[in-house]
Structure 1
Amino acid sequence: MSDDHNHNHNHNHNPPHTHDHGYSHGGHAHSHAPANFNRAFAVGIALNTGFVAIEAFYGWQINSLALLADAGHNLSDVAGLVLAWAGSLAVGLKPDARHTYGFKRATILAAFANALLLLLAMGGLTWEAVGRLSAPQAALQAQGGIIMAVAGIGIVVNAVTAWLFMRGGDDLNIRGAFLHMAADALVSAGVVVAGGLTLWLGWVWLDPVVSLIIAAVILWSTWSLFTQSLHLLFDGVPASVDVQQVRALLLGLPGVADVHDLHVWAMGTSHIALTAHLVTQASDTGALLRSAEEELHEHFEIRHVTLQLETPAYAAVCGLRPGLGCQSS
């Protein structure tokens, strides 16, 4: 390899693509959140599956749309937790010759599928609730106590499940699980209130109204997850990274004269990758690379860095330089 063109230096000084157990460099240790949530997923899925059965049974018995709607939503959350768990486990699968990055993107797919599932479920709920508004179920008045008791169980189940995922907020996949469970706890509290008012004041119209409020709350909490995961699926820059700041950091490194072909994307919901061409005449390229790796890791949590070092002479003819036939960032 000539001095003019040092190509594809990988930041991890171990064999390529062994990032699944965290990264430690320059005294900074960071672990990937999904690896620690197997127990949380198992407990959360078990608790919510049991609660879905209870809520659906009593909702069917007393013909409460609020309970049936919340049961349907909680069932979709169970499916969402299963998807999120599968995505989390996929991160640990080893790369192979045909999947050289491994399967980290499964976490993004899980977050997207989770959000899409919820959006579809809430569309169906809204349709049914609007129909019920024109024909409230008068028999619900006597069943307010059952509605309150069942929803009260839901508050406990959802709050406990949300707590299990509270420490994973930096990972979109885990944060999706947390937000859904936290929203469910609030929704269950709303159902308790609706049950009380139905019992004491005879407001049977409140059952479909609460269902519509449930749908609105969940749509609001899910939309961000949906748009972020869709953005990452198309190799969008993660929200935690400002590309202009990254460019400024690289340009500020000693000996760097220019930066081009800079790309930042998410390999998974907790794995960020970067590639760039640095134009430099630095004599100690090892020190430059180490400095770049440490700064990118420290300031942006970018763990997978690939840098191409070029002399000004090589950069002048680099096919990826802006204006030389290949669009560059």
Structure 2
Amino acid sequence: MESARERTDERQARQHQRTLSLTLGLTFTVFIAEFVGVVLTGSLALLVDVGHMLTDVSVLIASTITAALMRRRPTENKTWGWARLEVITAAAGSTVLLLVGIYALVESALRLIGVQTAEVRDIDLMLVFGVIGLLANIASLFILQSSHNDNLNMRAAFLEVTNDALGSVGVIVAALVVIFTGWTDADALAGGVIALLMIPRALRLITKSLKVLLEETPRGLDLKAVRDHLDRVPGVVAVHDLHASTVATGMTQLSAHVVVHGDLSDGQRAEILRSMQVCLRTHFPVSIDHTTFQIEPEGYEQRYEATMQIHV
């Protein structure tokens, strides 16, 4: 029978899938329009924005598929389900975004120093497509706003659209500068600025994703404080082999070997286990719902090692 939390997670997953699907449809439509704009105008700023939107489309497709797969229940082969996929998608999307940003930065520098030359063929069309892109991105941001902090997958999608909105602003500003001043290098400069805005954000998301993939201790969780709390549970002698990591957003796990007094009854050991679980769910900024404790009677480790030596 489904728990209240499972029903809530399922509703949230369905909402994420609908939100991402709607954003994907809108972004893909504007991508096609801006691609036509690049062909017609030859604008670098618009080209960078189109490359960015292609990344958006790719990441949104992956994010939408991820949101659908994350609704599947865990199996014997996938005991956490597809939860970890959100982190992999975020890492892949932000890596592609980083590469697009580096390319745009290099291309902008080459044009500004005169190694490569290119002029915008139709500045008015460039402005029109920039405005279309900005309006579409604002609509997408409005759609994603309510759920962009739910997990890394949704955060990556929101980041993509936010960066693209900034790109559209750069296209509009560059077009207006060229129209009113005639300075054509404004297009290349805008492309470089867009790239500079993209790169730090991509690096931050890559870093967050890698920390999860490397199973680092969850941010905000002091493992020394956790050990101290567990050590103070009545009946506990010592805690060792303590590990904590994040499976996916909202899914933190912790495991530990807990040495207890050897003369405790089964009921007393059960109470120790309950106390430790309550402690980890309520005493720390990061609530840990998935816990695995190995209860060991005092002296167990020495007896186990002695037994192993005899068998060897």
Q: Which amino acid aligns with 1:310?
A: E
- Cα deviation, residue 275, structure 1: 0.9
| Residues 99 and 30 of structure 1: CA distance in aligned 2, closer, same or farther (over 3 Å) | closer
Aligned partner of 1:22 in structure 2 is: 5
Describe the shift of the 1:255–1:31 C-alpha distance in structure 2 as closer, same or farther (beyond 3 A): farther
Match of 2:187 among 194, 207, 214: 207
Match of 1:179 in 2: 159
Do residues 312 (structure 1) and 312 (structure 2) align? no
For 2:228, the aligned partner's letter is A
Return closer, same or farther for 1:253/1:181 CA change in 2, 3 Å cut-off: farther
Q: Following TM superposition, by how much is the alpha carbon of 1:110 offset from its aligned partner in structure 2, in angstroms? A: 0.8
> Contact 2:253/2:290 (CA < 8 Å) preserved in 1?
yes
Q: Which has the higher helix share?
A: 2
Q: Contact 1:136–1:205 (CA<8 Å) still a contact in 2?
A: no
Show the counterpart of 2:289.
303
Do the aligned partners of residues 139 and 67 (structure 1) sit closer, same or farther apart at CA in structure 2, a change above 3 Å counting?
A: closer
Which sections of structure 2, spanning at least 5 residues, go unmatched? 306-312
Query: 2:224 maps to which residue?
Result: 244
Shift of 1:83: 1.5
Mapping of 1:128-139 within 5 angstroms? Answer: 128-133=107-112, 134=114, 135-139=116-120
Distance 1:157 1:244 in 2: 48
Deviation string, structure 1 residues 228-279 (Cα, Å, up to 9, x no partner): 2122222222324332232233223333232111111222233211111122
Distance 1:294 1:183, change over 3 A: farther
1:40-65 CA-to-partner distances (Å, cap 9, x unmatched) read 10011001000101111112101111
In 2, Cα distance between equivalents of 1:156 and 1:95: 40
Q: Deviations over 1:179-226 (max 9, x none)?
A: 222222222222211111111001110111111111111111110111
Q: Is the aligned partner of 1:127 residue 2:91?
A: no
- Please report the TM-score for the alignment, with normalisation by the length of structure 2: 0.84
- 1:30 shift after superposition: 8.0
1:161-180 to 2 correspondence within 5 Å?
A: 161-166=140-145, 167-180=147-160
Task: State the match for 2:310 in structure 1.
Answer: none
Instruction: State whether residues 90 and 107 of structure 1, in contact with CA within 8 Å, keep that contact through their aligned partners in structure 2.
Output: no
Given that residues 33 and 171 in structure 1 are in contact (C-alpha distance below 8 angstroms), is that contact kept between their aligned partners in structure 2?
no
- Let me know the Cα RMSD of the aligned residues: 2.6
| Contact 1:162-1:177 within 8 A present in 2 as well | no
Q: Distance in 1 between matches of 2:135 and 2:160?
A: 14
Sort the Cα spacing of 1:254 and 1:162 in 2 relative to 1 into closer, same or farther, 3 A: farther
Match of 2:34 in 1: 55
Which of 250, 261, 278 is residue 294 of structure 1 equivalent to? 278
Q: TM-score, normalised by structure 1?
A: 0.80
- Name segments (4+ residues, structure 1) moved above 4 Å: 29-35, 315-319
Identify unmatched segments of 5+ residues in structure 1: 1-13, 320-329
Distance 1:113 1:262 in 2: 30
